[in-house]
Chain A
Amino acid sequence: MTSTQIIHGIDTLNIHSIESFGIYDGPGIRMVVFLQGCTFSCLYCGNPDTMKCDQGKTYPIDNLFEEATHMKSYFTNGGGITFSGGEPCLQAKRLIPLMKRLKEEGFHICLDTNGNVFNHYVEEMLQYVDLVLLDVKHIDSAQHQYITGRPNEKTLAFAKYLEDHHRPFWLRYVLVPGLTDAPADLHHLGQHFCDYQQIEKLEIQPYHTLGVHKWEILGLDYQLKDTPKNSPEQIEVARDIFESYFKEVVVN
């Protein structure tokens, strides 16, 4: 599927890192596995060091499973495991056996994806996923291409697939001043998704610059240097608009 699969064995994943106490990537307390490699190169990416597929570290699936087992007692509040990245769908084939084991043990599984990778492995993997966190970077495909390097048709098709197959999901939307917060675009996104029954909530992710130093370390040019953080008013405007389309809107 990808170059990483050749490098690493079937019993391993290529991961960037693990955060054992995540609370912003799905319900309750989450063990978040950040997988290495992404199909997008978003201008504002907070984890640019997860982008390249030929980096990261090989991590045995058995170890991940054991760590998850140790964390189970913390998941009483609806928590569980979230696979994020990078783009976890790039490693769908090797995630399937792990998710299957986790599911047998009763873990709640979230998949945090940009929806740009879809194949029969992803489709099979989705059987084990309780909740998808679908990142929609922009509703306008040209703008989407500008931000991520790819158009958005596959992401929208992914959303349609989830809707048609009754798989619950949350939309996640990074609100970047001047780039993704034009009211017309927000309305457009709301109109596109307002009839989706499987969308449980929309999460607004305010723009932050916590990852900028990583771009510098990697020797990459961060193009949004002059972009300010959202003002509280900007966030409220976006919230108001989204609330007219979605049953629950949360600002992370």
Chain B
Amino acid sequence: MITDIENDVEPFVAGNWNETIDVRDFVMKNITPYDGDADFLCPPTEDTDLLFDICKTAVKEELANDGVRAIDASTISRINSHAAGYISEPHEKIVGLQTDQLLKRAIKPFGGPRVVEKACNEHGVALDPKVKEVFNYVKSHNDGVFAAYNDEIRKFRSLGFLTGLPDNYARGRIIGDYRRLALYGVDRLIEQKIIDLAGINGPYDDYKIRLREEVNDQIIALKEIIALGETYGLDLKRPAKNAQEAVQWVYMAYLAAVKEQDGAAMSLGNVSSFLDIYIERDLKAGIITESEAQELIDQLVMKLRMVRHLRMEAYNEIFAGDPTWVTEAIGGMTLEGQHKVTKTSFRFLQTLYNLGPSPEPNLTVLWSPKLPEGFKKFCAKVSVDTSSIQYENDDLMRATRCADDYGIACCVSYQEIGKHIQFFGARCNLAKALLLAINGGKCENTGTIVVENLPALDDGVLDFEDVMINFKYAMKEVARVYVDAMNIIHYMHDRYYYERAQMAFIDTDPRVNVAYGIAGLSIVADSLSAIKHAKVTPIRNEDGLAVDFKIEGEFPCYGNDDNRVDFIARDITSIFNQQLAEYPTYKNAEPTMSILTITSNVSYGKKTGATPDGREKGVAFAPGANPMHGRDTHGAIASLNSVAKLNYEDAQDGISNTLTMIPKTLGNDEKTRVNNLTAIMDGYFSRGAHHLNVNVLDRELLFEAMEHPEKYPQLTIRVSGYAVNFVRLTRDQQLEVISRSFFDQV
């Protein structure tokens, strides 16, 4: 069957994409790779400026109003629940808001109605009784999970061994292939889903029954998306005919997702080079100018910046700064060795100038040393100027995961677009697991027995081998309980808060990986290094719990390119990853693990007692896979090299690292800074490292922004795997960011 694209311009190169749903094939057949520099880029148009001024004013009001501008507390948000909303309609090339008003937040109570009610109350709004009434008759995800949790999981959760689990909020992380709406239109997508459904035949087991129900829900969602389009006067039944429609259609597909769901992270995917194909064609045909092409991308990005979810305050501890993780992956190479940089890759980065720095969308460059120099230099320049980009190793992911059409879910998580989804799993606290090993299986804070049958250690100096035996056992038990919790959570999420709008843009029955996570890796590595290379004696209270540690002698710290400790970090990662993989998973999801904390490294630290590395009780962990601040004394490259030793094979959900430098450290002038940053990225990723957040800013600027937040509404800083508006962080989090290693050797 041939998809009939109506247009007045040159037809696209045909291929398998005409026969079946295959966006990758369309991109590969029609992409125009760009090897030049950034000179062609245009400033914002008058309309863009006008619209963004309105947005900036609205954001100011939002900040002044305790972070929320308005709430619609009576309409349960669905694909087609709200009337059309505009910033200023006559000036908008790309339309669509989540509700009928800019920055008005919608309620999505199926994750957990109590959370929504709390969030409303915290902002002085009462949740409509009608909405509460609904949950007298239907169950939410949260209710389902807690109906199934056992005492053990509850204990691990309440004592802080497992935290941030998506059991009372939406799991997110699933990336719809939003390009499909533009390339095929709804009619064609429904047609395919009907065919898929007809292919799911008996005998029916749990799996097939569930799948039939899911596909049917997806078809209903697709029909509602037609109606969503009609609200804005768009005919989404058919494919997009030109560049403006392609951008608009992709955004409508994404908008349906963020109206329906409030997942922690809801990425956009990998749309830039897809959209470039339409833009290139219209440019060639003289239908649009470069300025108009940029305007489309600016206005899309503006809309993405205005996406909001309603969160309660406690959420801020784990995911600070009101993030949405509209992650867009840019660049990368094909399996055949051709780069995928297009002019629209540049245009997306240009939004950081045209609209100013911003944490969202979470622009993620898929880096390969083989990318064209002009693009690499432009990325480095944008990083130096805005600190708003993160980088991930395309060579590594492409080779390890064997696909090239992928996006990044949230911060660091690979996901092949439209073929593959993941089940988000937050993280467990490995530093607390180490303390279990030292305290005979008891929680270091409460004395509660968490892990049975762990022998008490001998008095006196800790023996490395003895500690390791206990630690491995403790980790194994944490892994077992963690897997149980994840299976329950995702079973219930599918049942009560299924992502029908996103799944409608994904192949029927996609591959799934379950994304476990760890926090406190550097604390564990340094603690074990201290036990191994120095003499560490626990100081125990009357209950036998170690409340402090006496450390005699020196020991190498993670972050100095020293194998004696770096290999400990590497090996612990590998061991725990294998332990997680030993248990069966819901939907046979493939187990993967991340080393990523978001901002929860602060709250994890608060819940963790003193550790054998000399860290005091309550002190924040380093974020992600970062070395502990102040201990990486050999400079930035040695620090990067320690992190690069962690094996991606052992942590395929991602290894997050954040590098913060003052501008002077990178060079005296822009050209030198750009060249040095490019060399750092080439060097780091050539060593097999996975991810790098790059910040280039002065510590003084951050202090200034703490005192005068009103002057720095757009100051953006990258933290573990994402970026935040610095002024939206709590004071604790701001201070923690400032306390981190700033490489400032001059």
Chain A residues packing against B (C-beta within 8 Å): 17-24, 28-29, 31, 67, 70-71, 73-77, 79, 210, 250-252
Complex: A19 Cα to B668 Cα, angstroms: 18
| B676 CB within 8 Å of chain A | yes
The reply to whether B665 and A23 contact each other, CB–CB distance below 8 Å, is yes
The reply to whether B679 and A76 contact each other, CB–CB distance below 8 Å, is yes
The reply to whether A76 and B682 contact each other, CB–CB distance below 8 Å, is yes
| B726 CB within 8 Å of chain A | no
Q: List 11 A-B contacts (CB under 8 A).
A: A19-B745, A20-B638, A21-B635, A23-B666, A29-B680, A70-B687, A74-B680, A74-B684, A75-B683, A77-B678, A250-B668
The reply to whether B679 and A28 contact each other, CB–CB distance below 8 Å, is yes
The reply to whether A23 and B687 contact each other, CB–CB distance below 8 Å, is no
Chain A residues with Cβ below 8 Å from B684 are: 73-74
The reply to whether A21 and B745 contact each other, CB–CB distance below 8 Å, is yes
B659: nearest chain-A partner, CB-CB: A21
The 6 closest A-B pairs by CB, nearest first: A74-B683, A20-B637, A20-B638, A20-B635, A21-B636, A77-B679
B633: nearest chain-A partner, CB-CB: A17
CB distance from B664 to the nearest CB of A (A): 9
**Interface size in chain B (residues, C-beta < 8 A):** 28
Most buried by B among A19, A21, A67: A21
Complex: A250 Cα to B713 Cα, angstroms: 37
Complex: A18 Cα to B665 Cα, angstroms: 16
| B746 CB within 8 Å of chain A | yes
Chain B residues with Cβ below 8 Å from A76 are: 369, 679, 682-683
The reply to whether A77 and B638 contact each other, CB–CB distance below 8 Å, is no
The reply to whether A23 and B635 contact each other, CB–CB distance below 8 Å, is no
For window 112-171 of B, CB contacts with A under 8 Å fall at none
The reply to whether B637 and A21 contact each other, CB–CB distance below 8 Å, is yes
| B743 CB within 8 Å of chain A | yes
A72: nearest chain-B partner, CB-CB: B683
| B672 CB within 8 Å of chain A | yes
The reply to whether A67 and B561 contact each other, CB–CB distance below 8 Å, is yes
Complex: A28 Cα to B672 Cα, angstroms: 8
| B641 CB within 8 Å of chain A | yes
Chain B residues with Cβ below 8 Å from A18 are: 634-635, 638
Complex: A210 Cα to B664 Cα, angstroms: 14
The reply to whether A77 and B745 contact each other, CB–CB distance below 8 Å, is no
A20 contact from B636, B665, B666, Cβ within 8 A? B636
| B675 CB within 8 Å of chain A | yes
Chain B residues with Cβ below 8 Å from A79 are: 679
For window 650-685 of B, CB contacts with A under 8 Å fall at 665-668, 672, 675-676, 678-680, 682-684
Complex: A28 Cα to B637 Cα, angstroms: 13
The reply to whether A20 and B679 contact each other, CB–CB distance below 8 Å, is no
| B686 CB within 8 Å of chain A | yes
Q: A21-B743, A22-B745, A23-B666 are in contact. Are A74 and B637 (CB under 8 A)?
A: yes
B687 contact from A31, A73, A210, Cβ within 8 A? A73
Complex: A8 Cα to B622 Cα, angstroms: 37
A24: nearest chain-B partner, CB-CB: B746
CB distance from B637 to the nearest CB of A (A): 4
CB distance from B569 to the nearest CB of A (A): 15
The reply to whether A71 and B676 contact each other, CB–CB distance below 8 Å, is no
The reply to whether A251 and B668 contact each other, CB–CB distance below 8 Å, is yes
A31: nearest chain-B partner, CB-CB: B637
The reply to whether B635 and A22 contact each other, CB–CB distance below 8 Å, is yes
The reply to whether B676 and A77 contact each other, CB–CB distance below 8 Å, is yes
Chain B residues with Cβ below 8 Å from A21 are: 635-638, 665, 680, 743, 745
The reply to whether B634 and A20 contact each other, CB–CB distance below 8 Å, is yes
Q: A19-B634, A23-B666, A23-B667 are in contact. Are A70 and B675 (CB under 8 A)?
A: no
The reply to whether B683 and A73 contact each other, CB–CB distance below 8 Å, is yes
The reply to whether B675 and A77 contact each other, CB–CB distance below 8 Å, is yes
| Interface flags, B674-709, vs A, CB<8A=1, else 0 | 011011101110110000000000000000000000
Most buried by B among A18, A20, A252: A20
A70 contact from B641, B682, B746, Cβ within 8 A? B641
Complex: A246 Cα to B493 Cα, angstroms: 71
Chain B residues with Cβ below 8 Å from A250 are: 668
The reply to whether B679 and A71 contact each other, CB–CB distance below 8 Å, is no
Complex: A28 Cα to B674 Cα, angstroms: 11
Most buried by B among A29, A71, A73, A250: A73
Q: Given contacts A20-B638, A21-B665, A73-B683, could you give 18 more A-B pairs where the C-beta distance is less than 8 Å?
A: A19-B634, A20-B636, A20-B639, A21-B638, A21-B680, A22-B745, A23-B676, A28-B675, A29-B676, A29-B679, A71-B637, A73-B687, A74-B637, A74-B680, A76-B369, A77-B675, A79-B679, A250-B668
Complex: A31 Cα to B684 Cα, angstroms: 14
| Interface flags, B614-651, vs A, CB<8A=1, else 0 | 00000000000000000001111111010000000000
CB distance from B663 to the nearest CB of A (A): 12
For window 528-581 of B, CB contacts with A under 8 Å fall at 561
Most buried by B among A18, A22, A70, A250: A70
CB distance from A57 to the nearest CB of B (A): 10
CB distance from B646 to the nearest CB of A (A): 14
The reply to whether B679 and A75 contact each other, CB–CB distance below 8 Å, is yes
Chain B residues with Cβ below 8 Å from A210 are: 746
The reply to whether B561 and A20 contact each other, CB–CB distance below 8 Å, is yes
Chain B residues with Cβ below 8 Å from A251 are: 668
For window 702-746 of B, CB contacts with A under 8 Å fall at 743, 745-746
Complex: A20 Cα to B641 Cα, angstroms: 10
Q: A20-B561, A21-B745, A77-B675 are in contact. Are A71 and B641 (CB under 8 A)?
A: yes
Chain B residues with Cβ below 8 Å from A70 are: 561, 641, 687
| Interface flags, B461-477, vs A, CB<8A=1, else 0 | 00000000000000000
The reply to whether A71 and B683 contact each other, CB–CB distance below 8 Å, is yes
Complex: A28 Cα to B684 Cα, angstroms: 15
Complex: A76 Cα to B639 Cα, angstroms: 19
Chain A residues with Cβ below 8 Å from B635 are: 18-22
Complex: A9 Cα to B484 Cα, angstroms: 56
Complex: A74 Cα to B665 Cα, angstroms: 15
Chain A residues with Cβ below 8 Å from B683 are: 29, 71, 73-76
Complex: A185 Cα to B636 Cα, angstroms: 38
A73 contact from B639, B686, B745, Cβ within 8 A? B686
Chain A residues with Cβ below 8 Å from B746 are: 24, 210
Complex: A249 Cα to B147 Cα, angstroms: 73
B683: nearest chain-A partner, CB-CB: A74
Complex: A226 Cα to B368 Cα, angstroms: 51
Chain A residues with Cβ below 8 Å from B676 are: 23, 28-29, 77
Complex: A251 Cα to B664 Cα, angstroms: 13
Complex: A31 Cα to B561 Cα, angstroms: 12
CB distance from B645 to the nearest CB of A (A): 9
CB distance from B644 to the nearest CB of A (A): 8
Most buried by A among B637, B678, B680, B743: B637
CB distance from A89 to the nearest CB of B (A): 23
B632: nearest chain-A partner, CB-CB: A20
